[in-house]
Chain A
Amino acid sequence: DAEITQSPRHKITETGRQVTLACHQTWNHNNMFWYRQDLGHGLRLIHYSYGVQDTNKGEVSDGYSVSRSNTEDLPLTLESAASSQTSVYFCASSESGTGGYEQYFGPGTRLTVT
């Protein structure tokens, strides 16, 4: 069965370190998204991609970067981790074309920055 996976599931890192969160999907979807989920803020879009070599900034992109070298993967990098980036991170993917396509979510990565 097709799926979307994230690794690691839990990560503790120190302030200032670079961290990369992996996202891999086997749906063959063109669209991929990274969100962070924080109490009181719901889901906020960090970065998104509509295909290979395409990346776009979301509403909370400062301090984060992504790259899309193939269809399956969209890794999220925190350039210099800050305590404000402690959160649960979700990757999602969807088909492209006319609207109405659901997003398929990964299980999440809980990141703690100390």
Chain B
Amino acid sequence: AQSVTQLGSHVSVSEGALVLLRCNYSSSVPPYLFWYVQYPNQGLQLLLKYTTGATLVKGINGFEAEFKKSETSFHLTKPSAHMSDAAEYFCAVSGETSYDKVIFGPGTSLSVIP
């Protein structure tokens, strides 16, 4: 069975500092991996995804994530935090077909301190 863990339910960073949100997954098949962002009172929207190919994936708003199979990780990073990055971030994993359900992690709330 697939599962996702996100280390730290809440992360605070200073404006301009590195953002690092951790995600580890378990999957018995090669996974598809996603990061979604949720701003207050909104639905989730895709930041980036890994399907196949290059393990370093770039997304919107300067975020990127690296798929490390040996570590079963897909950590999200951004070199310099901006106030507008304050939001809830969800890591997710799915299987080989769209009939495999997407499993969401519990989420990490990011606060950016001015």
**A interface vs B, CB < 8 Å?**
31, 40-43, 45, 48, 50, 58, 90, 92, 94-103, 105-108
Contact = CB atoms under 8 A, between A and B. Distances in A.
Given A42-B104, A43-B90, A43-B104, A107 B42 contact: yes
A96 B96 CA distance: 11
A95 B98 contact: yes
A42 B98 contact: no
A37 to B, nearest CB: 9
B28 interface: no
A96 to B, nearest CB: 5
B98 A45 contact: no
Interface of B is mostly: loop
Nearest to B43: A105
Contacts of A41: 106
B103 to A, nearest CB: 9
Given A99-B94, A100-B49, A108-B43, A42 B106 contact: yes
Given A42-B90, A90-B44, A105-B44, A99 B105 contact: no
B13 interface: no
B97 A107 contact: no
A94 to B, nearest CB: 6
Given A50-B99, A90-B43, A100 B104 contact: no
Contacts of A108: 41-43
Contacts of A43: 44, 90, 104
A98 B98 contact: yes
Nearest to A101: B98
Contacts of A106: 43
